[in-house]
Chains A and B, each alone.
Chain A
Amino acid sequence: MAQKISAALPPNMDLDASYVIEFAALDPTTGDPVAGVVVSNAYMLVTQLTPGTADDLESGPFMLVPGPNT
């Protein structure tokens, strides 16, 4: 069974277009990326500050999670 781990997310980060949120696996000694690590069910809850629809936030493999009102 996978470990359950929580970590700190920098609070109140107001990110504009072209910023990137990256899920990485880094070598603990060198800080370089470690090959062969995969992620699944990557999930983000974000506050959308700009006008428009939620669909405007879909990017790359990240899609909207259908909610009860959609």
Chain B
Amino acid sequence: MADVALVAGETLATPLDYLIPGAQEIVPKAVTAEYDGSGAGGDFVPTLIIRAPNGSVLAHAPIGSALTAGASADVSWFPRGRLDSSGIREITSTDGSVTVTDPFGPVTNLAVPASGAAYEDLTATAFALTAGNFGQPSWAHSAGSSLVDLTTPTAPVPKVAGIYIAEFYAAITLPPAPPGFLAALLLGQATVQAGSVATWAQAGGSPCANSVTAVNHFALTDTFGCVIFNLNSAAGETFTNLQLRIVKVA
């Protein structure tokens, strides 16, 4: 078996066909062409098409994106060549990146643990509770790594099991007398964590702020989050500047 190079040296209109001559059998190894779209009637995608003898299409090999009318490109096709928009070229995260040089190679398991100092800050919009009621803020990512799955915004779930510190902070303006009396609780494994309870009990109408912290080991099905109780049975309360910082320590 020999490798043979064939070229059409002229400038020719597309579609340009190469018909495999009688009694011949080949395997294409590499194909190139210079596309000139200066006279193109519209945007176009340089595409190599393999047609069976009956005219049906055996394969389309387009480049990854369209060229605008008037553009030109030198296009190379080769096995395991890059699909500009379809192949994975890079995996990124806030904790680092992995460059994929062969998106069509064997499957590789990439274990990229978050660093010991990784953290994620979550925020929630102003959160109001009616008298004697309780509820959970809806959290959204604001900064840092992506440590939790926020599919359910009221109950973030860690993406990787580990040991985490979670700290909740909020500011409130207590209503007029009778004085407000509230408790904020961090959740872990769907239960209130010991040492994570904070209460606010200040004079009515006074702004105040407080935070609570909990440390726990989290499995993948555990949830972070926070429940806020309004223990004032006479008036509603509004929380602002709601923040939840999650730190992965191991």
Q: Enumerate chain A interface residues (CB-CB to B < 8 A).
A: 2-28, 33-50, 52, 54, 56-65, 67
Name the prevailing secondary structure of the B interface residues.
Answer: strand
Closest Cβ of chain A to B24, distance in Å, is 5
- In the bound complex, residues from chain B placing their C-beta under 8 Å from that of A38 are 11-14, 35-36, 39
- Stretch of B58-66, B156-164, B233-241 on the interface side: B58-66
Closest Cβ of chain A to B109, distance in Å, is 24
Asked whether A50 and B44 contact (CB < 8 A) given A5-B76, A20-B18, A42-B12, the answer is no
Interface footprint category on B: 35 or more
For the complex, is B42 an interface residue (Cβ under 8 Å from A)?
Answer: yes
- In the bound complex, residues from chain B placing their C-beta under 8 Å from that of A33 are 14-15
Kindly list the 7 A-B residue pairs having the minimum CB-CB distance in the complex, ordered from nearest.
A11-B79, A18-B53, A28-B66, A36-B39, A65-B5, A9-B77, A2-B72
For the complex, is B1 an interface residue (Cβ under 8 Å from A)?
Answer: yes
**Contact B22 A9, beta carbon cutoff 8 Å:** no
**Contact A48 B26, beta carbon cutoff 8 Å:** yes
- Stretch of B81-89, B120-128, B139-147 on the interface side: B81-89
**Contact A54 B2, beta carbon cutoff 8 Å:** yes
**Contact B20 A61, beta carbon cutoff 8 Å:** no
Q: Whose C-beta in chain B lies nearest to the C-beta of A12? A: B27
Residue from B25, B33, B81 within 8 A of A23 (CB atoms)? B33
**Contact A42 B8, beta carbon cutoff 8 Å:** yes
**Contact B33 A18, beta carbon cutoff 8 Å:** no
For the complex, is B90 an interface residue (Cβ under 8 Å from A)?
Answer: no
Asked whether A48 and B15 contact (CB < 8 A) given A34-B40, A43-B31, the answer is no
Could you tell me the distance between the alpha carbons of A42 and B14 in the complex, rounded to whole angstroms? Answer: 11
Residue from B13, B25, B67, B79 within 8 A of A12 (CB atoms)? B79
Q: Whose C-beta in chain B lies nearest to the C-beta of A30? A: B42
Could you tell me the distance between the alpha carbons of A54 and B6 in the complex, rounded to whole angstroms? Answer: 9
**Contact B80 A8, beta carbon cutoff 8 Å:** yes
For the complex, is B175 an interface residue (Cβ under 8 Å from A)?
Answer: no
